[in-house]
Structure 1
């Protein structure tokens, strides 16, 4: 590592814990980095459960490599290096962690392994929270998945975390020239994937929902609970992008076709017409959590979570996820 710096408190404490094999002190020091490392792994992998596993793998590797840390770099830098390479090793072994072709009017592909990221698990550090929204939103996470793994790592280290080329090269055991070339190629792909989004991800951006977004979510929930199909239709753009993951079949459809499709699939029909909904946020995006009560059930049971991308007062993208069997979302199973 090349960071020119004095030995900090964390670094000194970590070295002392490593030398004494003090597992409790080691855990105390490293645990404070868990949330930001998990977000980093999520950006690399687009899957919350994988990110959890790889964060734990990172800590195992850190413990096994503890004696190699000499404090020449910040502990945070060293941890990110290990986490990044753990993710790269994971991706090298998995052939099911790449986007698959989508049947869309325009060329595209789907990330079927995408999972939502609960906001309550995001880092509490103010600076990370400021930049997190646009680099944790679903569209950004999906776009990053279209980069080859090492190019993806370069892009995240350089353009999201703001690392200098030399530091990224050292972490990935590449030359500075290779890092620069990979970053240039990654930026081209990201512009293709996100043509309507800003491309300066390191500058501050608000992470708060707007009043417009809150109003649309409230109207979406009201319409859902009242089985108001016209009301739902009025909230959707006529070029709505809709997906229900992990099922394949992302589509760009009109508002009417979207609602007609939901009805023909059984929603808002008898047995699927008694809804209660709550609002939440995942990936710094507004979301509605849908609970369904069937005729013979006294309780409303967790059904799906609809993550909404809202543009000019209309829902431009609706990504649905099966919300059952995902305790990490922190949602009550019944209402």
Structure 2
């Protein structure tokens, strides 16, 4: 343990900020301006980073610098680490949303952004105009290691899944929704289809996993509850992408009603109630208990809850 602390003590943590801005800007001069140092100092920081990693990190390409594969790999890591350090040194300080410049990092699906994003954005703009927000869109498996990931970011908005049900993670319910079938407006599917009708159609399914352990995504679970083994025509890593693969086809999808309504308001798509009983769509905000007493994080939780209040029955 002593050796680990000594190694960390020998690191210049200012290089983390330089690395983040150099990768963001892909330009030494602009990175220097964002950090508030001179261009030669930024160039010197880039040289030190290159020596440390044994990699060029930024190489000249068409129209400017482009990141190397290693820099692309470091990109997300340095964002998470810098955000965690900023939260660490902000903890315990008095928090005023009107003047704070803190940046929050949230992980959520594009469905959540479509349903909750505008309300949350307006409240942030009204209450905390200088606060920043980094939204990371969720992948198929939500998070590989829930405990470690949530410790490094401000929280996750997702349905309840077993990997989050551990003592270190707390949650609050934000809103609920229901599942509907979505088809093209000219689909011959009847308004009250049976399971045999659904089995005859090609499906568009988000976050479907063909191999490996069962998916943590909710739609494959709902299809299993219906007893439908879908003939999958298109798999997408997005909820909002689903409707675009239905228009003018005989395909079908299962989608959250609040999102489906945004697309079915026109004349190209229509919603149909699925046969059988499905679980409700439940979206919760999950965070590590280390943030329980952080006044800034408490404001974040309260603001998210307030933004979701019109969505609750």
TM-score normalised by the shorter chain: which range applies? under 0.3
Report the TM-score when normalising by structure 1.
Answer: 0.23
Q: Larger relative contact order (C-alpha < 8 A, sep ≥ 6)?
A: 2
Determine which structure has more spread, i.e. the larger CA radius of gyration. Answer: 2
User: Larger % of helix: which?
Assistant: 1
User: Larger % of strand: which?
Assistant: 2
